[in-house]
Copies of this chain bind each other. A is one copy, B any other.
Amino acid sequence: MSLACAQCPVRDRAACAVLDETERGELGRIGRMVDLAPGEVLFRAGDEAPACATLVEGALKIVDTTAEGFEHILGLIHPAGFVGEFFQPFARHEVVALTRSRLCVFGGHDMERAIERYPALARALLRRAQTDVLASRDLLSLTSSPSAKRKVAGLLLAFADAASDSPCHPAAAFDLPLSRGEMAAMLGLTIETVSRRITAMERDGILSRTGKRGIALHDPARLSGLAERS
């Protein structure tokens, strides 16, 4: 608990960062550390006990699985991000690890009590929920674009921005955090279309691929042009 918090890599950015040392220690006692292997499920749709978690390391995806087994990705969680609801009686979506991940998990009722006890925590989670709404709407903008070219360009640009150190410039080289299939599941496309669009961009000199996941971005301006126009 205390020890874990002291060494926590997201201790300055996660929601609990608004608490002082003793408060954080108390919160730490009601949570538990969980490690997840890639593909492992944290929450399952329909789970009765509401729960939530702060992501410490790794990456998660929020998945909606349709009746026919078709998968759709509704959002990604990055370190310091918060996932799960504690007001709803049932979990609505699956939460799955994309990579090896470490989380700080809380029971929903414990967290409800905690936000009553620590008002600053409630405000921090509110702030985070508001940015989650914006992120969700950004993805919505992407997916409802009529053209696959724009969807893929927008997603690649988002990944390049996320991989960059500076907030404004996209990274020149980075690894895709998602497989082709997962990218397709985010954008509402097929694997083949995603692959073809990336191939087309490589042919046009906008980027080049190294291995399955590696991207070298040669012309960020053209990429962001594709993401907005045409």
Q: Which positions in A face B, CB cutoff 8 Å?
A: 62, 64, 66-68, 72, 74-75, 85, 87-88, 92-93, 115-116, 119, 122-123, 125-127, 129-134, 136-137, 139-141, 143-146, 186-188, 228-229
Please measure, in the bound complex, the distance between the C-alpha atom of A15 and the C-alpha atom of B137, giving whole angstroms: 22
Which residues of chain B are within 8 angstroms of A187 by Cβ–Cβ distance? 144
Known A-B contacts A85-B130, A116-B123, A132-B133; A144 and B67 likewise in contact (beta carbons under 8 Å): no
Specify which of B129, B143, B146 is in contact with A133 (CB 8 Å cutoff). Answer: B129
Which residues of chain B are within 8 angstroms of A133 by Cβ–Cβ distance? 129, 132-133, 136
Contact call B129/A136, Cβ cutoff below 8 A: no
Contact call B74/A140, Cβ cutoff below 8 A: yes
Contact call B67/A188, Cβ cutoff below 8 A: no
- State the copy count for this chain: 2
Contact call B64/A130, Cβ cutoff below 8 A: no
Known A-B contacts A64-B141, A144-B143; A123 and B115 likewise in contact (beta carbons under 8 Å): yes
Contact call A134/B188, Cβ cutoff below 8 A: no
Please measure, in the bound complex, the distance between the C-alpha atom of A125 and the C-alpha atom of B127, giving whole angstroms: 10
Further contacts, 7 of them, CB under 8 A, given A88-B131, A93-B137, A145-B188: A74-B137, A87-B130, A88-B130, A92-B137, A116-B119, A129-B130, A139-B140
Name the residue of chain B whose CB is nearest to the CB of A64. Answer: B141
Contact call B67/A229, Cβ cutoff below 8 A: yes
Contact call A67/B123, Cβ cutoff below 8 A: no
Name the residue of chain B whose CB is nearest to the CB of A141. Answer: B64
8 closest pairs, A vs B, by CB? A144-B188, A129-B129, A119-B119, A136-B136, A122-B122, A126-B126, A74-B137, A143-B144
Smallest CB separation, A47 vs chain B (Å): 15
Name the residue of chain B whose CB is nearest to the CB of A126. Answer: B126
Name the residue of chain B whose CB is nearest to the CB of A190. Answer: B146
Smallest CB separation, A84 vs chain B (Å): 9
User: Can you report 20 residue pairs joining A to B where beta carbons are below 8 Å apart?
Assistant: A67-B228, A67-B229, A68-B229, A72-B140, A72-B144, A74-B141, A85-B130, A88-B130, A88-B134, A92-B137, A119-B122, A122-B126, A125-B126, A129-B133, A133-B133, A136-B140, A143-B143, A144-B186, A144-B187, A144-B188
